[in-house]
Amino acid sequence: MRETWRWFGEFDPITLPQVRQTGAQGIVSALHAIPYGEVWPRTAIAARKAEIEAAGLTWDVVESLPVHEDIKRGIGDLDLLFAAYCESLKNLAAEGITTVCYNFMPILDWTRTDLAAPVAGGGTCLSFSATQMAAFEVHMLGRAAARADYDAKTLADAQAWFEASTAQDQTTLLETIMAGLPGAVDTYDLDGLRAVLETYSGLTHNDLRTNLKRFLQEVIPTATSLGVNLCIHPDDPPRDILGLPRIVSTQDDIAWILNAVDAPANGLTLCTGSLGAHADNDIPAIAKAFGDRVHFVHLRNVTKSADGSFAESAHLNGDVDMVAVIDELLEVESRLGRSLPFRADHGHALLDDLGRDVQPGYTLIGRLRGLAELRGIIAALS
């Protein structure tokens, strides 16, 4: 397995020389400043690649080449958007970059309710509280149908949280839920979020599946001709959020997507943390079932609760059997004769991380610890 590290380019306070010291060989990056739906110019791709290679690293994976919201909604000038996406794939392939991660989550990328939850022994982690999410949806956002998405105890706890919260608590919760990746990603206040949610009004799971299938039918032939592998990222968390449908949350979802356009270029980013937050997902079984179509791997762990809450644990200490997952992936590598790029996904904020202004979850020391632990598992199993 090939060690990679996610790096946010000009938005990242962690430098490439620092990444080099972690022992990772490859970089996972994107052109975050380019607005969604626009073509990534080959000159910009080449410049980012040259910057990475000058530090003694390689640009192994694009994460992410974003899918425009109109494609997810199935509206607007879709032919123009599909053409732009395919042109970006052509420009990436021309520079030798052939693994492209993307997601199909409406509006929000990953969602958390706390970016600095205390960890036993010191440090902080990202976490998701069903109680706080319910308080946000029901009492702050005022989404009419939200009560049907939570059980009675969660709703009662949410009301208690809201009644005890200060204005600053509520502002912090909104900012946390809106926390996204840098560059072209939008953030919203409550009115803005209500307005953008309205643009998805009436969109069902089947509608979103239909729109994803059309996207795949449009771009996978181009990807195949270029030797590019697309790999969809699972929903994070793997559940409907804000009334928005999520369609990449379970093993059945993944099977549907891979069968929708049955081609090797239509693949999966196996994210053990995202999938691991769903009570019904068996991650080693998913790795075994779809190993031939896994093109990229995110290794992180979570400790989950019955109400759907979860916290990001240390890489070896959560509910996901990381040893079993890696064992399955090594078997895939041996059978197919290829090396899978993986990265230690997210990490606790530890030691000097606590004073460093990094993207949430993308710490230096916490990810270094995770990478070292994962490296040990791989070495032992190998």
User: Could you tell me which of 336, 298, 364 has the C-alpha nearest to residue 28?
Assistant: 298
* The residue to which tokens 């996207």 are assigned: 215
* Active-site hit among 233, 295, 315, 348: 233
Whether residue 140 contacts residue 161, with contact meaning beta carbons closer than 8 Å, is answered with: no
109 in catalytic set: no
* Active-site hit among 85, 102, 150, 362: 362
Whether residue 19 contacts residue 57, with contact meaning beta carbons closer than 8 Å, is answered with: yes
- The alpha carbon of 116 is separated from its chain's Cα centroid by a whole number of angstroms, namely 18
295 in catalytic set: no
315 in catalytic set: no
Contacts of 144 (CB under 8 A, 6+ apart): none
Contacts of 151 (CB under 8 A, 6+ apart): 307
* Active-site hit among 139, 271, 348, 353: 271
Whether residue 340 contacts residue 101, with contact meaning beta carbons closer than 8 Å, is answered with: no
Show contacts of 74-81: CB within 8 Å, 24+ apart. 74/207, 74/210, 74/211, 74/214, 78/214, 81/37
* Active-site hit among 298, 315, 348, 353: 298
Give me the phi and psi of 192, to 5 degrees please.
-65, -40
Lookup: tokens for 242? 């804000």
231 in catalytic set: no
* Active-site hit among 68, 278, 346, 348: 346
* The residue to which tokens 């053409």 are assigned: 83
DSSP state for residue 291 in the 8-state scheme: G
The Cα–Cα gap between 247 and 240 comes to: 9
**Taking the C-alpha atoms of 343, 344, 347 and 351 in order, what is their torsion angle to the nearest 10 degrees?**
-100
Active site residues: 233, 271, 298, 345-346, 362
